[in-house]
Amino acid sequence: MSKVVYLNGSFVDYAEAVVPVEDRGFVFADGVYEVIRFYGGKPFAAEEHLARLRRSAEAIKLDGLPSTQELMEAALETVDRNGCVNATLYLQVTRGPAPRKHEFPASEVPVTVFMIAREVPRPDAERVNRGVACITVPDIRWHRCDIKSIALLPNVLAKQQAAEAGAAEAIFVRDGIVTEGGSSNFFMVRGECLFTHPADEHILAGITRDYVLSLARKLQIEVREETFGMSEVENADEVFITSTGIEVLPVTTIDGKPVGNGVPGPVTKRLWQAFDDSISKL
């Protein structure tokens, strides 16, 4: 349990942190967010996360964010005040409190900035070695998935459907094209080539996704950012998913059918090892 949260420039006891009932994040999901991973108390790719936060804010015309330096200092102190070592820091910015009206507030309203840190262990080694099951679901989300919006109801429903099916993740399929997971990016390996959906409006280009792509290129693994359908996935040799929380996680079954030979493959293992090595050097 987090003891202290950051709220609008102050550090507040968890039980005493409140926001106005008409905050636009509450009534309209009018806001954006990021999740930053900490290993051994050190942030991983924090600058990239904060840059994406600013891009998301600009995309929804959300002004008034604190500077990147202010956000970074607040994030570090939030983690430190909670005594976190291996943790995630959730950072949310909304358009702030104003009488409920769809249009932006007519007068200037200060944004609401909220951060909370929780101790989160690294993914279980046995789970990584065994791989996980996924299911596919229709991608019913809006057409700006590249914005890290707090409006996540379709993702919530997909993740719940996966949980009820005993699966680790729901994989979105839009018009026959595999896009990404409910809270992850999706990768397929065929032969020695790594495939993933291009970073367009149909996916959120994950920070871990980009990092894994850079690792793949360093390992001289061919990378193709292009669209593909489920028929290609069904013939894949390997599949894995990535995110800030799960890192690099092999997928061994999709909709009850085995991926490849049903065990984590060599390309996935190489990329996981390269990612693990990077973490150890922080």
Q: Could you say which of 88, 119, 150 is where a domain stops?
A: 119
The count of domains in the chain is 2
Alpha-carbon distance 61 to 1, whole Å? 33
Q: So what's the pLDDT on residue 1?
A: 66
CATH number (domain holding residue 148): 3.20.10.10
Q: Could you say which of 102, 119, 136 is where a domain stops?
A: 119
Reported as a single tens digit per residue, the pLDDT across 64-99 is: 999 999 999 999 999 999 999 999 999 999 999 999
Same domain, 274 and 136: yes
Token reading at 119: 């101790």
Same domain, 70 and 202: no
Model confidence at 260, in pLDDT bands (50, 70, 90)? very high
Same domain, 201 and 269: yes
Reported as a single tens digit per residue, the pLDDT across 25-44 is: 999 999 999 999 999 999 99
CATH number (domain holding residue 22): 3.30.470.10
- Return the percentage of the chain with pLDDT > 90, whole number: 97
Query: What's the pTM value of the predicted model, to 2 decimals?
Result: 0.97
| Range(s) of the domain holding residue 8 | 4-119
Catalytic residue positions? Answer: 148
Q: Could you say which of 73, 104, 119 is where a domain stops?
A: 119
Same domain, 89 and 169: no
Q: So what's the pLDDT on residue 282?
A: 87
> What is the DSSP annotation of the chain?
--SEEEETTEEEEGGG----TTBHHHHH--EEEEEEEEETTEEESHHHHHHHHHHHHHHTT---PPPHHHHHHHHHHHHHHTT-SSEEEEEEEE--B--S-SSPPSS--PPEEEEEEEE-PPPPHHHHHH-EEEEEEE----S-TTS-BS--HHHHHHHHHHHHTT-SEEEEEETTEEEEESSSEEEEEETTEEEE--SSTTS---HHHHHHHHHHHHTT-EEEE---BHHHHHT-SEEEEEETTTEEEEEEEETTEESTTSS--HHHHHHHHHHHHHHHT-
- Asked whether the predicted pLDDT for residue 223 surpasses 80, the reply is yes
User: Mean pLDDT throughout 130-148?
Assistant: 98
